[in-house]
């Protein structure tokens, strides 16, 4: 059995599979969001969010939620979902009760939820994490 953690490329492939599993109405708008997979959150993000421990940040959405966008908005850059591999792997190891693909999908759904402006009920209907 291979116990090596997935590479960044393999991790991204799992994240893209989670995006592909979104309900059809959300797949197209999700494709407009840049997906970045990094080992660790960049220092400038940790500083902006006032987070001291990089293990505390598994993912991040940067952008304007679709429910708040206006044709008058002048974006500073593309909407972006960040996934941070090492904090997700640490959570996966600590939990020990969930498949890595499921944890990645959980983080992906929650970050895209920010983009879509979903309520907690919307998230729960798509990401049945508690089951």
CATH code for the domain in which residue 93 is found: 3.30.2010.20
> In the structure encoding, which two tokens stand for residue 110, read together?
């929650």
pLDDT at 129: 57
Percentage above 90 pLDDT, the chain: 63
Distant-in-sequence, close-in-space partners of 57: CB < 8 Å, separation ≥ 6? 41, 45, 46, 49, 51, 84, 87
Domain contains 3: no
How many of the other CB atoms lie within 10 Å of CB of 109? Answer: 23
Residue 107 falls within a domain, yes or no? Answer: yes
Say how many domains are in the chain: 1
Residue 131: inside a domain: no
Q: What is the CA angle 85-45-16, rounded to 5? A: 35
pLDDT tens-digit map of 47-89: 999 999 999 999 999 998 888 887 776 667 889 999 999 999 9
Domain that holds residue 34: 8-66+77-126
Which residues in 16-116 belong to E strands, given as ranges? Answer: 34-38, 59-62, 80-84
Domain assignment of residue 1, yes or no? no
């Amino acid at each position: 059995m291979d116990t090596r953690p997935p590479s960044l490329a393999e991790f991204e492939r799992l994240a893209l599979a989670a995006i592909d599993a979104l309900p059809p109405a959300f797949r197209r708008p999700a494709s407009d969001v840049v997906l970045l997979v990094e080992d660790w959150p960049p220092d400038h993000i940790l500083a902006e969010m006032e987070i001291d421990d990089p293990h505390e940040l598994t993912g991040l959405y940067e952008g304007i939620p679709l429910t708040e966008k206006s044709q008058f908005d002048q974006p500073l850059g593309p909407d972006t979902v960040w996934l941070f591999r090492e904090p997700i792997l640490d959570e996966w190891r600590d939990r020990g009760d969930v498949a890595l693909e499921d944890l990645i999908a959980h983080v992906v759904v929650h970050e895209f939820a920010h983009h879509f402006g979903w309520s907690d009920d919307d998230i729960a209907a798509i990401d049945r994490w508690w089951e």
